Structure 1
């Protein structure tokens, strides 16, 4: 809404204004009123917030300016407009009277006009409607034959007296220029308002107290921070002189002073504060001061909180059971068991394929447990080499090895004190490290690498693996005592292929997530793609599904996907099935094709299975190495 008001002195002006507004695509309120009547309507609209800029003419513009506090743009007629009106008046009579607004500087040279027209033009000045009536009466008595100007009121009154009346029409160009000025003013007003609101938001959001005093010693800003520190409400002080707002001599001295202060520690009433004072100077003249107050107690509290946050950075659980998306019965059973496990402090072992959400479940258990206010420390045991993993888990003492930090470093078990530690890929750690982990579980204590001091820890351990630990125990790759210590409470997460009824819900969730991330509005998947999703076995589970949906949102135009891209998705899914095929099975998966192409597929898949060992490849194919070499050469050609 443009919030522009145009007052019209005559119907033709109204028609022209509406036409120009349509052409310029400007919304405006157009009132066909003049002088006091127009001013009253404008005042009412401004007070209601409907109008921010007014366009008017001469006397009406002056009348409006007296009663509103918004800009008034004048759409004045030009010299040519006046000359044209006088020329038309000359055709109607020799004695011409001009009704002009008294408070507007008259820039017209009537002597020159008289010379050009060869006719006398007498001026009759007015300031309001009553004076127009008086001046028309006077013109009548003076024997004037034609009245020019005064709007429709002047024309109507002249005709009532038997005189002719001629309007001074505002040209199209003058009105276009006035509307454009109004648009420019409105744009400036809104930019200034945006800056003012932005500054006000910054001032009110600041934790420190901010007080502004103008050159007259009147308080203009007193933000919530100042209210809190000083115990004084802003409504009691804003707009008042500094000497009238406080009996606190310390504050009064600060507000009266003009010199700059930076970082001074002062006692202000009951509060100890850090004070900054800056004079506001424009062109070398001081126009007031800005005073900021920081409560020392709050600064100390913030420092303590920052230290704690830095110490526990990243050691928090972000997800809870409410964040898990499912409708399948198998997942309902898993969640029900996990919620019961959260009520205890026993060790939990979570098993499941990669991408099934083992850490999500671990975080949810922590968030629902009595340890929820403590840290949640997650570590991927397969992501670090054994030497580094040991020092990360147990920490190290000063001088434990070359490059060890002075004073040593706390390990992740220590950082998890009072909370939960999540050990992902637990099956990947060495037997030696397994022995140290067993001691932590049994004794609830750790010893740093290179240290000689036992450090007690209060932690809950949640471990996870995508391996068969029982089989690893039978093979001697995993300690049986550690396995039994971990396998107190066990959760097995189903792969996505066993909970396909959850796929539509998960897709919907990921669409919302990636729409927000990439600024898209994708509502759903194409029916064909959803059909493939429901048929596909998802070897990468939920993580793989999330990646597919992310790629779809990036590539999609609305809910549509180009046919070639849709086929590209299908091909990727086929490739993923082949790449993730169980190679322990004595079978291959190939696409039906020409014989030579199928032979190529067989050789390439077997070559991948044996890791490029050509002797083993020749054995599996039942040919000699020479025959294999010739066949490979033919394929390359």
Structure 2
């Protein structure tokens, strides 16, 4: 153990003090048999050791006091190589014990007959004296250990403070800064703080700081703006007092950049449901045109307006645009303007300060626009937004600043806006329900998603896709649809579009009693609501939505449509493993389903 070496100077001083008081030589060694203290004038701790046969070695081995009456009677002295040069004729040795462990020993040496007689005659006195000096050494060892523990604790605390995701400042009871972590450089020039007595008021101008220092009023997540070197930084600031026995010893301030807060919210939120265009099922001409257009504009910062009937997948397209773009690692924040009451929508979009209205959350709340910082905000059902908010949204889109409710501070935003609606905004403009200028600001890049009625050739692939998903989800193994069932589902009007189809497939997978979904497994409400079809499911030839059928035209069967599209995809991408993987993605089916269809249709 190295306890005594760690306080080497103190051990040496102790040896010299004992020697001067007792007028005898003193040595102190550790368990490595190294001399740590020696009263001889020419002592040097380097390479100074005692032998394994030494009296002090025996003291440490036995763990008790040992008295050498004569060097003639000790076996170690008889074997000692320095016997002829050694002047020591008597020794009194005592172990040094710390926390039940022997860490060394002290020896008083008599080198003359007179010293020997004094030593032996007063050994009890000397033992008592050495014991007290040993206690002093142990106290010093304990103090040293405590100091080391405190230093280690301080190092750990400093490491923790530096690892905090934000800037931290601590002050004394009067508000003078006594410590800061490395992240403070994001807000202040550290050179301005070092070696100076600086008050919190000098660097942070916020009313909550004065209340914290003077009244001990803690606060959390207050918004603050810093300007340094021509650069503006928006942050959240929190303050907490350091109390002990009802006395305030100081305060701790934590600063977080708003951009870092947004990133944390994005990482922890459930909005990271990544979507790409390959996951949008369908290979019809109409849907491919829209997918190509949306992919082309994915990296544009321009506002996108997605229009389409309810259930066509407007949010799926919005997510695909975001996660295909350069913003894919930034937030995607969606808000349904129709799902939030008018009086709450403004605070949801733009946030509010503490005390902005009755019942406002303490510390205020960050709005969706701020949460979407650096990424995309998706404003679903934009046609339901009240007119007074349309005016505020227009200003945000033009100026790229927002103001929280109850605040007059303008906060810059860097957000790409995608809006969506199933309303006919042009008609709403005529009836003064929607602002024309906002419409033009939103409609920079218009995308219209076709209904299922406009892309019936995608219905078989959607049915297969949702069948596979629900088989896995519900633990079923339904193989497919009968011809009658498939024909019925293709000819159905699908007013609810893909969403209605998805729910229908989940229902029939739950209820189907056999390996194939039959026409009779389809809910009666669906069969009773056919438009442009008779009771048998045949298409009304006079319908404007019917296939273009005449006497010289033969309707292509469903199997032929599926087979033709598979062959087309394999021809384009190739029939190797990679080609089949790409073909299955474009067709909106799994690779296993593709292999099954290849076998079923005998595609070579």
Same fold (TM over 0.5): no
Q: TM-score range by the shorter chain?
A: 0.3 to 0.5
Larger relative contact order (C-alpha < 8 A, sep ≥ 6)?
2
